[in-house]
Amino acid sequence: MYASNCFYRDIATAGSARWFEDIDMKPARLMKIAALSASALLLTGGGVVASIPALRHIAVALAHDPASLSPVPGDPRVRFEEGAENCAFGVAALLPRAVAVVEAAHGRPFRHDVNVGVFASPESYASSNGLGASKPSGVSFLGRVTLSPTLCGPDRDRMGAVLTHELSHAHLQGWLSPLAFARLPSWFNEGLAVIVSDGGGAEGVSEQAAREAIADGYAIAIANEGSLFNLTAVNFVKEPPHGSFFETRLSVYRLAYREAAMFVAWLRRRDAAAFADFLQRIEEGEPFAATFEEKFGAGPRRSWEAFVSDLGDRAD
C-alpha cells in the first residue's frame, strides 16, 4: 500500500454525520457493511471512538466498488470513471506484465480475478479506496486496486510501478483473511511491494542515502506483527530531523520504504529458497514471527541487526 502509493495515507480523523447519505442502500451491501463494521469493532476491543473514522471510509468504499464502473473493452479487469478512459487504456496495456511480475515474485497465481479502478476525480477516488484520502497514488483495499487521477497526469511515468506495487498487496489480500493481512508487519508488506515493483514507492531515495540514514540512527522500527490501527506506515525508531535531506513527509515515507525494501531484498539474497517458502507459508496464513524465525534462523529484530551489521561491513 503505497503511503503516497498506499502512499502516505492520511486517514481523516473526523467526518460528517451525513456520510451515510453517500451509500447505496442495497440490502446486500448493507449486510456487508454491517458485518465488516462489527468485526472491526470486535477486533479493536470496542474502541468505537478510534474506529469510527476508519469504519466510515471502509463503509463508503464498499458502496463505491470500482466493479460498478465502465470496463475497458477487451479487459474488464480494468474499470474507469468517466473522463479517465485514456488512462484506463494505459493501465490495461501495463496490466498483463504487472500481473506476471507479481505472480512470479509471490510464487503463485492471484487467488481471485484482478480488479483495478481508474479515477478521473480525487473525490471519487477517495470514496473508493477505503482511506477517504486522495493523496495516495494508489491503494489496495480488500484485494482491489484503486489508482489516483495523478497517474493520468503529472505522475503518469510512475503508473507501472504503482500498479505493480499495489498488485503485490492485492495478491496478499487475496490469499489472506483481512485480519491475517492486518497482522503482517508494514515493513515487510511495503518492502516486498517495493522490490516486486522495482522501486515503486521508494522513488527518489537511493540505497546509499538509506544506508547513510541508517548509520545516522534513522532506522525503521522492526515490529513482529502489524496493527489494525496502522496498516500502511513504516515507522522509524527515530524520525529524521527537519532540515535534513528527508525533511518532507513524502521523502521520509520513501526513505522508510527504501530501508524496508533493502531489508527484504537482503533476506531474499541470503537464502532465496527459504524466502520463497516463507512467502508461500505466510500466504497460507501461518504466523509471521514464528515462521520468520524458523526459516531465517532468527527473529525479525535480530535479523535486522545482522542486516545493519552487513551494511557496515560493506561500507568498510
Per-residue pLDDT of the chain (316 residues; tens, 9 = 90+): 554 334 333 333 333 333 333 434 444 444 454 445 444 444 434 444 344 677 788 888 888 899 999 999 999 999 999 999 999 999 999 999 999 999 999 999 999 999 999 999 999 999 998 888 888 899 999 899 999 999 999 999 999 999 999 999 999 999 999 889 999 999 999 999 999 999 999 998 999 999 999 999 999 999 998 876 665 679 999 988 766 666 677 788 899 999 999 999 999 999 999 999 999 999 999 999 999 999 999 999 999 999 999 997 765 5
Number of residues written out for the chain? 316
Q: Which three cell numbers stand for residue 113?
A: 480475478
49 contact partners, CB below 8 Å, separation of at least 6: none
- Write down the architecture of domain 67-176 according to CATH: 2-Layer Sandwich (3.30)
The dihedral formed by the CA atoms of 78, 81, 85 and 89, expressed in degrees to the nearest 10: -20
- Residues in contact with 82: Cβ distance below 8 Å, sequence separation at least 6, in sequence order: 70, 120
Per-residue cell: 3: 503511503
Running DSSP on this structure, what letter comes out for residue 65?
A: -
What are the strands of the beta sheet with 70-72, ordered from one edge? 70-72, 75-80, 116-118, 144-147, 138-141
pTM given for the model: 0.83
**How many H-runs (helices) and E-runs (strands) does the chain carry?**
13, 5
Which grid cell sits at 309?
A: 551489521
Report the alpha-carbon distance of residue 218 to residue 215 in Å, rounded.
Answer: 7
Q: Are 243 and 17 in contact (CB under 8 A)?
A: no
Q: What are phi and psi of 38, to 5 degrees?
A: -65, -40
Give just the sign of the alpha carbon dihedral 176, 167, 254, 213: positive
3-state SS, residue 57: helix
